[in-house]
C-alpha cells in the first residue's frame, strides 16, 4: 500500500517511476577435497586460503565449512549384468561393510539408496537408514543381462535433485555401458545438475588390458573427474574394501564452499566452468568442473 501511494505521488509530481526487479541469484555449493602430493587429505585450511573463479571471474566466498557434517545422500548403483556373476557375492560383502561404516559414524541423518542395473534399472530401496533392509535387498541380487550404466546414473541423479544434503553416487561395475537408452553426455549432465559426486568402483575382471573395456573405464574416469569424485579399480577382497573406505574418508574430510555468482559476463556459456585455487601451491583442490547456470536459478 505504501509503495502504491509513493508511486502515485511521484506520478503527480511529474516523475516517471521506473520499476525495479530483484534478481534472486542462488548460491553455488562446492564440495572440495584438498590433497598433498602424496594424495593425503589436508583438512585444516582456512577460508582465505581458497580462491574461487566462475567463468574466469573471481568470486566472494559466502559459506565456508571445514569438515562439513552436512548429511550424506549416497546412491549405491550395483551392476548385476551377466559378466558380474563371478564377483557379485564378494561385492555384496564389501558394500555391507561400507554401509556399516556409513551408518556407524558421521551424521545421524546420513541416508543410502540402492539401485541395481543390468538391461534395466531397478530402485531396490529408496533413501533410508534401515541397514538390514538394504543388506537383505543386496542378498537378493542376481546377475544376468546387459549393462545400462548411463541409464542408472541418469535416474539416480534425477532422484537426487532437490534433496537436501551432500549428494553422492557410488557405482560398482566391471566395465562399460552396453544397453542404455541415455548417452554418456546425458548421464554426466544429469549428475552435474544434481550436484552429485560420482565415485565409480570398477572391479577388474581381467588384468590383461586386451580383455578389458578400456573405453568404458575411461568414460567412468571422466564422469568422476567432471563431478569431483574419484575412480577406483580394485580386485575383490581387501582392495575393494579399501576403495569403499577411501570414499568414506574423502566424504568425511570435505570442505563446503558456497558463493553467489557475481559480475559474470553477459555471454557466459550454458555450462559455467569453476576453478578453485589454493595459496599453497603444493596442494591441489578436487571438486566438480562446473555447473549449469540455469540449474541454480
Within a domain: 1: no
Q: Can you give the pLDDT at residue 16?
A: 45
Q: Are residues 239 and 93 part of one domain?
A: yes
Q: Are residues 84 and 63 part of one domain?
A: no
Within a domain: 3: no
Q: Can you give the pLDDT at residue 296?
A: 62
Q: Are residues 199 and 182 part of one domain?
A: yes
Helix residue ranges, H only, the chain: 2-12, 88-104, 131-139, 149-160, 184-193, 214-227, 238-252
Number of domains the chain is built from: 2
Within a domain: 96: yes
* Residue from 237, 239, 229, 234 nearest 286 by CA: 229
> How far is 82 from 197, CA to CA, in rounded Å?
27
Q: Are residues 142 and 270 part of one domain?
A: no
Cα dist. 7→11, 23, 35 in Å?
6, 21, 57
Within a domain: 131: yes
Is 72 in contact with 81 (CB distance < 8 Å)? no
Q: Are residues 117 and 182 part of one domain?
A: yes
Q: Can you give the pLDDT at residue 234?
A: 95
Q: Are residues 133 and 215 part of one domain?
A: yes
Within a domain: 180: yes
Put simply, whether the predicted model's pTM sits higher than 0.85 gets the answer: yes
Q: Can you give the pLDDT at residue 77?
A: 98
Low-confidence ranges of the chain (pLDDT < 70): 1-25, 205-213, 296-297
Q: Are residues 133 and 96 part of one domain?
A: yes
Q: Are residues 169 and 28 part of one domain?
A: no
Within a domain: 267: yes
Q: Are residues 268 and 192 part of one domain?
A: no
Q: Are residues 18 and 122 part of one domain?
A: no
- Per-residue pLDDT of 120-153, as tens digits, reads 999 999 999 999 999 999 999 999 999 999 999 9
**Domain encompassing residue 157:** 72-252
Q: Can you give the pLDDT at residue 12?
A: 46
Q: Are residues 142 and 97 part of one domain?
A: yes
Q: Are residues 80 and 136 part of one domain?
A: yes
Within a domain: 122: yes
Q: Can you give the pLDDT at residue 294?
A: 84
CATH code of the domain in which 242 resides: 3.40.50.410
User: How many Cα atoms occupy the beta-carbon half-sphere of 296 within 13 Å?
Assistant: 20
Within a domain: 2: no
Q: Can you give the pLDDT at residue 211?
A: 52
Amino acid at each position: 500500500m505504501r509503495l502504491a501511494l509513493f508511486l502515485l505521488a511521484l506520478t503527480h509530481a511529474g516523475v516517471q517511476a521506473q520499476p525495479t526487479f530483484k534478481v534472486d541469484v542462488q548460491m553455488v555449493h562446492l564440495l572440495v577435497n584438498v590433497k598433498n602430493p602424496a594424495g593425503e587429505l589436508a583438512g585444516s585450511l582456512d577460508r582465505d586460503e581458497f580462491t574461487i573463479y566462475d567463468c574466469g571471474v573471481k568470486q566472494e566466498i559466502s559459506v565456508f565449512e571445514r569438515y562439513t557434517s552436512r548429511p550424506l545422500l549416497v546412491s549405491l548403483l550395483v551392476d548385476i549384468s551377466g559378466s558380474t556373476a563371478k564377483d557379485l557375492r564378494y561385492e555384496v560383502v564389501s558394500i555391507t561393510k561400507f554401509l556399516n561404516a556409513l551408518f556407524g559414524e558421521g551424521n545421524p541423518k546420513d541416508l543410502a539408496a540402492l539401485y541395481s542395473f543390468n538391461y534395466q534399472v531397478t530402485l531396490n530401496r529408496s533413501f533410508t537408514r534401515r541397514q538390514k533392509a538394504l543388506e537383505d535387498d543386496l542378498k537378493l541380487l542376481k546377475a544376468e543381462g546387459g549393462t545400462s550404466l548411463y541409464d542408472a546414473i541418469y535416474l539416480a541423479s534425477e532422484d537426487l535433485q532437490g534433496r537436501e544434503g551432500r549428494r553422492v553416487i557410488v557405482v560398482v561395475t566391471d566395465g562399460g555401458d552396453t544397453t542404455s537408452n541415455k548417452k554418456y553426455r546425458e548421464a554426466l549432465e544429469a549428475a552435474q545438475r544434481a550436484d552429485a559426486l560420482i565415485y565409480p568402483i570398477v572391479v577388474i575382471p581381467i588384468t590383461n588390458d586386451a580383455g578389458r573395456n578400456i573405453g568404458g573405464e575411461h568414460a567412468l574416469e571422466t564422469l568422476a573427474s567432471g563431478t569431483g569424485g574419484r575412480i577406483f579399480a580394485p580386485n575383490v577382497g581387501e582392495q575393494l574394501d579399501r576403495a569403499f573406505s577411501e570414499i568414506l574418508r574423502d566424504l568425511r574430510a570435505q570442505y563446503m564452499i558456497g558463493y553467489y555468482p557475481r559480475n559474470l559476463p553477459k555471454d557466459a556459456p550454458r555450462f559455467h566452468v569453476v576453478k578453485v585455487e589454493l595459496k599453497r601451491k603444493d596442494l591441489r583442490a578436487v571438486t566438480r568442473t562446473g555447473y549449469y547456470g540455469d540449474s541454480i536459478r
